[in-house]
Homo-oligomer: A and B are copies of this chain.
């Protein structure tokens, strides 16, 4: 499960937030399945050379948002029913796009065309 995560310590967004966003997407996309055990704080810490508390902070936030379940003394698990926030992730991006496009005076048709073009070119990885 760890092989999907990409951490960039140099990035502007804090490390713990990078983890939160990426793991949320892993769950929303079904890559991490409900009930799966999540890699332990220590494992992730060692794997990426990050302080355990940083991962701990990310996991806590994910539990608070409902993506993960915490059970005392046991490893965390992917929550049973991925929350509504899954769809929310896309909506946030759509909102930003529409906002920018309208401000720039670009019409829907052009945006749609650009979107289609980009869809072809852009690797899933980026």
Contacts and interface: CB of A to CB of B under 8 A. Distances in A.
A10 interface: yes
**Identical chains in the assembly:** 4
Contacts of A115: 94, 97-98, 108, 111-112, 115
B112 A112 contact: yes
Interface of A is mostly: helix
Interface of A: 9-10, 14-15, 25-26, 28-30, 69-72, 86, 89-91, 93-106, 108, 111-112, 114-116, 118-119, 122, 124, 126
11 contacts: A9-B72, A29-B104, A29-B105, A93-B101, A94-B114, A95-B126, A97-B97, A98-B118, A98-B119, A102-B122, A112-B116
